[in-house]
Structure 1
Amino acid sequence: METQHSGARDMFQFYPTPIDLATRVWKKLKNKHPDRVLEPSAGKGHLLKAMYDEPQWHGRTYAHVDCCEIDFRHHADLRELGVKIVGHDFLAMESGACYSAIIGNPPFHNGEKHVLKAWDLLWDGEVVMIINAETVRNPMSMERQRLVKLIEDFGDVEFVEGAFEVEDAVRKTSVDVAIVHLVKKADVASFVTMDLLRSMQGDAVSGEDLGSGYAQAQQLALPANEIENRVLIFNAAVESARSAIFAQAQASAYAGMLGDSMGARSAGRSDREFAPTVECVRGELDEAYRDLKGRAWASVVRSADVTSRLSSAAQKRVEAEFKLISELEFTVTNIYSFLMGICEQQGKIQIDMLCDTFDRITRYHSDNTAYYRGWRSNDKHYRSIGRRIRYTRFIIPGFSADSWHRSPPWEMQGLLADFDKGFALLSGDSAPEVSLVSVCNSRWDELKRGGRVESSYFDIRYYPGIGTIHFFPRDKKLIDRLNRVVGRHRGWLPAENLKLESSAFWEQYEKAEKLDKEIRKAVAKRGVRSYDDPFRAIDRESYDGHDQACQRIDEAMQEVHEANGIQVEFRLASATDASSATLRQLPLLAAA
C-alpha cells in the first residue's frame, strides 16, 4: 500500500497501523491461538509485528502467518519477518477455507469489500478489520448494508477516534476508524439432517445403482489462452477436492449416527465412526489445496521452459525461488507477474549460469587457467587477479568408471549436459546440433578405449582409469566470449563501453596463456610452499591468506610483464573518475 512517492501513495492508500490500534485488533480475537492467519493487505508488516508483542503469541512461530501485499516493494520487508506471501491482490483470492483468522488494515476507500471478501473466504474462523468509520455509519451501498447486517448477526464493531493522529503514526489522518469483528462458525454435524426418515421405503438399492452416477472426469472445454486454461483446471481440481473432503466428513457423520456394525458388537469391540472436527476438515482442506497449488505452479515452470536450458546449479537457484513463488495464489495475474519476473531476470540467470560453467572449468584443475592483471587496483595497491580458460585444452577430473560400465557415469553426464547448455547459450543456439551427452552415450565404448570423439563445441578424450575428461574447444571464439563475459561481470575487465588509455592492458590479457609458465616460475621463486599455493588461495576470498596470495601473483606478473616490454600502468582514457560501484552497473553481457 505505501510507497515512497505521493502519487503511488494515493493509489495504494497506505496507512501503517500504529501500535496501539494494532494491539486492539489482536485483542479482539476470541480464539487466542488461531491455527493459520491471513493478513490481506500487509504493507510493511506493522500490524503483524504487533501480534508478536502479545503475550499469548510468545513462543509461536511465523510459519502460521500468510499475507497478501499488492505493492511488490514491500515484499522484502515482509519476508524478513518470516511470513509467507501467498498473493498480491487479496480481492482476487479464490480460497481461504484453511484460515482460522483473517486480520487486516485494508485501504480506506474499499474497506467493506475486504471485510466481505474475508467473510466469504472463511469457512470457520474470525475476521478483524480496520476500516473507515463512515463505512459502517453511512451504509449507502448494497455492500455496506450487507456488512452492517453481518455485524448485527455475527459480530461487533468498535469505533476509535484519532487512531492515526498518535505520535507513532507513520502517516497521519484525522479519519475515525471502526474495528469490525466477525465470527463465522462451521459445524460439521450440520451436514447431517434427520429428514431421511420422512419417506421410508423398502431397500431396493444396489451397489450398481449407487455407482451409476459416476463417470471419469471429462476434459474441460478450455479457451485458447494456456494460462487461463491452467487456472480453470486448478480451480476445478480445488473444488473437486473440497467436495470430496466435505462428502467424506458427511459420510463419517452419518456412519457415526448408525453406531457399530453387528459384527463389531458381537465381538465385544467398537468400530464406530465419528464426525471429524472442524479443525480436522480444515487441515485436510489446507493440505489438499497446497498440494494442488504446488503442482499447478510446477506445471507453469515446466511449460514456460524456465529450467530446461539451465545448468544444474542454475536450476537449483530457480528451484529455491520456486519455493517462494509456489506460496502465491494460483491466479492469472500472479502467473503473468511470475513470467514477467523471469523475463526481467533472464540476464542475471544467464550470467550466473555462465559463471557456473567458468568456475567448473577453472576451479578443479590448475592447468586449465591462465592469469592476467585486472584493470583496477584495490585499496592494498595491487591489481585484481583475472583468470582465463585456456583456448587449446582444459581437463576436468573426478569421473572414474569401471570397465563394466555401459554408459558414462551419472555425474559425468550431468557435467556434459551443463556444458551443452552453457556453450549453446554462448553460441546463440537453442541446443547443440551434436550434444556432448548424446555423443558420449553413442560412442561410449570408443571413449573408454581412449578414442577422441566430436560434438558441436568440443572434441573430447576420456581416461577412465584416472577419471579425467580432456576438452578440446572447436571454436576459440566461444571460449573467448565466456572469458570476457565472466571477466566483465567480476570486474577483472573494463565494461564494453569503457576505453583504456593504453593498449598494454589488452596486450597482457591476450598474452596471458603464452606468459603463464613464466608467471608461475616467478611466483615459485618467491619461496611459495606447496601447501600454500597462491593460485589456490585466490579462489577463496574468505581465506586469511587471500590478499597475500593476490599480492604475490601481482608482483610476479609485474616482473614478467616488464621483462617482456609490457607497460603495466593502464588507465581510463576518459578523465571522468567513475567509481567501481558505478562501473559494476554498466552492461556486462556484450558479446566479445
Structure 2
Amino acid sequence: MNTQRNGTRDLFQFYPTPPDLARRVWSKLNNKHPDRVLEPSAGKGHLLKGMHERRHSFGTQPYAHVECCEIDVRHHSELRELGVKIVGHDFLAMQSGACYSAIVGNPPFHNGEKHVLKAWDLLWDGEVVMIINAETVRKPLSAERKRLVKLIADFGDVEFVEGAFEVDDAERRTPVDVAIVHLVKKAEVGSFVTMDLLRGLQRDTVSNEELGHGYAEPRQVALPANEIENRVLIFNAAVISARAAIFAEAQASAYAGMLGESIGPRSPGQSDRVVAPRVELIREALGKAYGDLKGRAWASVVRSADVTSRLSSQAQKRVESEFKLIAELEFTVENIYSFLIGICEQQGKIQIDMLCDTFDRITRYHSDNVAYYRGWRSNDKHYRSIGRRIRYTRFIIPGFPADTWNSSAPWEMQSLLADFDKGFALLAGDTAPALSLVSACNSCWTELKHGARVESSYFDIRYYPGMGTIHFFPRDKKLIDRLNRVVGRHRGWLPAENLKLESAGFWDQYEKAEKLDKEIRKAVAKSGVRSYDDPFRSIDNESWDGHEQACERIDQAMKEVHEANGIHVEFRLASEQSKGACAVTQHQLPLLAAA
C-alpha cells in the first residue's frame, strides 16, 4: 500500500494500489494458493483485495491465511475488518519470516530495495513479489540495488509497468513507473553425502555420553538493565534456538532416510523408514513454534506489568480478549512500550468497568440488595432514569450450594470472594485487604458451614450451605457509598461532582433511599402490579418493551412517597454547565488513582 514516513516531518504518504496493478502482482505467484502470506505495507488492504478478486482465498475467510505489517496505525481497524492479522508496524524491523510461503507488497518507493532484500532474507522457502520504483532496477547505483539486480538475474524476473498509478481508478496518482519484482527461493532440506567403503570394519563404540559431549545447560544471557530490552533479547534468542532445532531435526530425518530401514522383525506392510519432512511441514512447524514463543513473551509482559493481578475475573477476561490482538504484533521494544502505554491510558476505564462488575454482581440476583432513587436527569428516550443503590446494612448473593462433607468452599464461591476482595481494595485505596474474604473463608470453612459469622477486612460473612447463599455485612459504610456513587455517576443516575443541583432535595431522597424503600415498593404495588409484571424486575433490561413504562411507574411512586415525607426534588442545575460533564473521569475519582 506504499505507506511511508517523511524523514523530517514524520508524515505518512499513502498510495493505494490500483485494482489492475494489484491483480497483476498476485498473478506473478507460481504457487496460486500460498498457505501463509505476509503483506509488509498493507495500508487499507487495496493490494490484498486484488488477491481476493483472483480468488486466492479459502472458504468464507479469504484473508485468514494473510498477515501484515502497517506502520500507520490509523489503518489497522480497516485491516482487521478484512480479517487480516496484524503482526507488526515496521516490516524492516521484523526478525523472523521463515514461516511464510509468500511475501507480497507495495512498499515505499524511496526504499523499495530494502523491503525486497529484507523479504528475501526473511524467507526460508517461498516467493517474493513487490512493486518498486522502476529506477531502482534500471539504475543500480548503490550496493543494495546491485544486490537486488543480481538476485533478479539469479532467482527471478522483473516486469516494468508504465503509468501504473495514473489510471482512472487510482485513488492517488503519481507519474512514477514501477517494476514488479518476482523472486523464488528454494530451501535446502538436506544434501547427499558421499563416503568410501570402509575397510577393517569394527564395532561402533560410540556411547550416549560421547554423543552428548559438549552440551551444557543454557546459561543465562548477559542482559542490560532495561527489563523490556531483556525480554526482547530472550525472545529473539528463543526464536533462533527453536529455528535451529527444527532445521536440525529436519536434516537428521533427511539423513536417516538416506540410510534406509533397520533390520528386525516387523508386520507385513510395516516400515520404519524415515521420510524427510516436506518444506510445507517444516514451515508449519516454524510458524507454530514462533507463535507459541511470541504468545509466551507477550504473556510475560502482562504478568510482569501487574496488569491483571488486581482485576476481577470479568475485567481480566476483557483485558485478555484485547490482549489477543496485541499478542499478534511482533515482539519488539517499540510494540511493548506501545502496549504498556495503552494499558496506562485505559486504566481508568478498566477500573470503572471492574467496579460496575462488582455492583452488578451484588444487585442483579437479589432484589432485596437494592434501594432505588430518582435519577438526576432523563435519558435519551425522555423518561427519568431510576438509580440503584446497594444497601448499607446487608446484601445476599445466592447460587453457591455445598454439601456438609465438602472440605473447602466451592471454586465459584472462592472466585466471587476474590473478585470482591479486589474491587473493594480498589475502593479502599489498598493494594490488597489485610484479611481477605478468600483467606477468611478457607481458614474458617468448618465454622462457616455451621452458621458462624466470620470477619474479613471489609465484610463479615455468614454462609448457608443448604440454601447456597452468602450474607455480606459491610464493616465500613463508606466503601459501599463510594461504590454506589462511582457507578451512579458512570451510568448517569447521579450528577458528576462538578455539577451542582439547585436544591438539596435530590440528595435527600438519595440518602434516604434505603429508609423509604418499603414505602416506595408499597406505592408501586398499589398501581396494580402483578407478580409477572413487577417493574423492579425489568428496569435493568432496557431492551424489554415494557422498560419505559416500568421506569415511569416507579418514578411516579417515588414522587408520591417523597412528597409525603416532605422531600421536594429539583433537577435543575445551579449554573449553566454542560451535560456532557456527567461522565466519570479519573480526576473525579481520586480513590481510583490512589489505588
SS at match of 1:213: coil
Report Cα offsets for 1:328-369 as digits up to 9, x if no partner. 222222222111111111111111100000000111111111
- Which residue number in structure 2 is paired with residue 194 of structure 1? 193
Report Cα offsets for 1:202-256 as digits up to 9, x if no partner. 5655023222132222222222222222222222222222112111111111121
* 2:196 is equivalent to residue 216 of structure 1: no
* 2:28 is equivalent to residue 49 of structure 1: no
Distance in 1, matches of 2:138 and 2:579, equals: 59
- Which residue number in structure 2 is paired with residue 122 of structure 1? 123
Distance in 2, matches of 1:414 and 1:457, equals: 17
SS at match of 2:283: helix
AA partner of residue 77 (structure 2): A
Deviation of 1:172 after TM superposition, in Å, equals 2.4
Give identity over the alignment, percent. Answer: 79
- Which residue number in structure 1 is paired with residue 13 of structure 2? 13
Query: Cα 1:381–1:317, aligned 2, differ >3 Å: closer, same or farther?
Result: closer
Deviation of 1:318 after TM superposition, in Å, equals 1.4
- Which residue number in structure 2 is paired with residue 24 of structure 1? 24
Distance in 1, matches of 2:241 and 2:506, equals: 67
| Aligned 8 A contact 2:463 2:469 in 1 | yes
Query: Cα 1:238–1:205, aligned 2, differ >3 Å: closer, same or farther?
Result: farther
SS at match of 1:470: strand
Distance in 2, matches of 1:558 and 1:172, equals: 66
- Which residue number in structure 2 is paired with residue 136 of structure 1? 137
Per the normalisation by structure 2, the TM-score is 0.93
Report Cα offsets for 1:158-212 as digits up to 9, x if no partner. 2222222233333322222222111111132xx2232444998856550232221
Distance in 2, matches of 1:388 and 1:279, equals: 61
| Aligned 8 A contact 1:372 1:387 in 2 | yes
SS at match of 1:262: coil
Deviation of 1:547 after TM superposition, in Å, equals 1.7
AA partner of residue 38 (structure 2): L
Greater mean deviation of Cα atoms: 129-138 or 534-543:
129-138
SS at match of 1:55: coil
Distance in 2, matches of 1:80 and 1:278, equals: 31
Distance in 1, matches of 2:410 and 2:585, equals: 41
- Which residue number in structure 2 is paired with residue 450 of structure 1? 451
Report Cα offsets for 1:349-402 as digits up to 9, x if no partner. 111100000000111111111111111113544211111111111111111222
Greater mean deviation of Cα atoms: 154-163 or 311-320:
154-163
Greater mean deviation of Cα atoms: 332-341 or 363-372:
332-341
Distance in 2, matches of 1:285 and 1:82, equals: 22
| Aligned 8 A contact 2:26 2:51 in 1 | yes
* 2:194 is equivalent to residue 177 of structure 1: no
AA partner of residue 411 (structure 2): W
Deviation of 1:97 after TM superposition, in Å, equals 0.7
* 2:439 is equivalent to residue 438 of structure 1: yes
Report Cα offsets for 1:140-163 as digits up to 9, x if no partner. 221122111111211122222222
Q: Which runs of 5+ in 2 are unaligned?
A: none
AA partner of residue 526 (structure 1): S
AA partner of residue 495 (structure 1): A
How many residues align structurally?
588
AA partner of residue 37 (structure 2): V
Decide which structure has greater helix share: 1
Per the normalisation by structure 1, the TM-score is 0.94
Query: Cα 1:323–1:508, aligned 2, differ >3 Å: closer, same or farther?
Result: same
SS at match of 1:465: coil
Distance in 2, matches of 1:348 and 1:84, equals: 26
- Which residue number in structure 2 is paired with residue 361 of structure 1? 362
| Aligned 8 A contact 2:383 2:548 in 1 | no
* Within-5 A mapping of 1:238-249: 238-249=239-250
- Which residue number in structure 1 is paired with residue 259 of structure 2? 258
SS at match of 2:149: helix
* Within-5 A mapping of 1:471-490: 471-490=472-491
SS at match of 1:229: helix
Distance in 2, matches of 1:554 and 1:32, equals: 66
Q: Which runs of 5+ in 1 are unaligned?
A: none
| Aligned 8 A contact 2:37 2:65 in 1 | yes
Distance in 2, matches of 1:160 and 1:585, equals: 57
The CA RMSD over aligned residues, in Å, is 2.5
Query: Cα 1:75–1:589, aligned 2, differ >3 Å: closer, same or farther?
Result: farther
| Aligned 8 A contact 2:348 2:586 in 1 | no
SS at match of 2:462: strand
- Which residue number in structure 2 is paired with residue 35 of structure 1? 35
Report Cα offsets for 1:271-319 as digits up to 9, x if no partner. 2211111111111111111112112211221121111111011111112
- Which residue number in structure 1 is paired with residue 76 of structure 2? 75
- Which residue number in structure 2 is paired with residue 493 of structure 1? 494
AA partner of residue 360 (structure 2): D
- Which residue number in structure 2 is paired with residue 527 of structure 1? 528
Distance in 1, matches of 2:349 and 2:373, equals: 25
* Within-5 A mapping of 1:56-95: 56-57=56-57, 59=59, 61=61, 62-95=63-96
| Aligned 8 A contact 1:417 1:437 in 2 | yes
Deviation of 1:100 after TM superposition, in Å, equals 0.5
- Which residue number in structure 2 is paired with residue 377 of structure 1? 378
Distance in 1, matches of 2:521 and 2:8, equals: 59
| Aligned 8 A contact 1:2 1:71 in 2 | no
* Within-5 A mapping of 1:260-339: 260-263=261-264, 269-339=270-340
| Aligned 8 A contact 2:400 2:413 in 1 | yes
| Aligned 8 A contact 2:503 2:569 in 1 | no
- Which residue number in structure 2 is paired with residue 518 of structure 1? 519
Distance in 1, matches of 2:56 and 2:290, equals: 29
AA partner of residue 206 (structure 2): S
Distance in 1, matches of 2:138 and 2:177, equals: 11
| Aligned 8 A contact 1:488 1:588 in 2 | no
Distance in 1, matches of 2:333 and 2:200, equals: 50
AA partner of residue 216 (structure 1): E
Deviation of 1:58 after TM superposition, in Å, equals 6.3
| Aligned 8 A contact 2:97 2:124 in 1 | yes
Deviation of 1:261 after TM superposition, in Å, equals 1.7
Greater mean deviation of Cα atoms: 200-209 or 490-499:
200-209
Query: Cα 1:385–1:56, aligned 2, differ >3 Å: closer, same or farther?
Result: same
Query: Cα 1:508–1:265, aligned 2, differ >3 Å: closer, same or farther?
Result: closer
| Aligned 8 A contact 1:495 1:587 in 2 | no
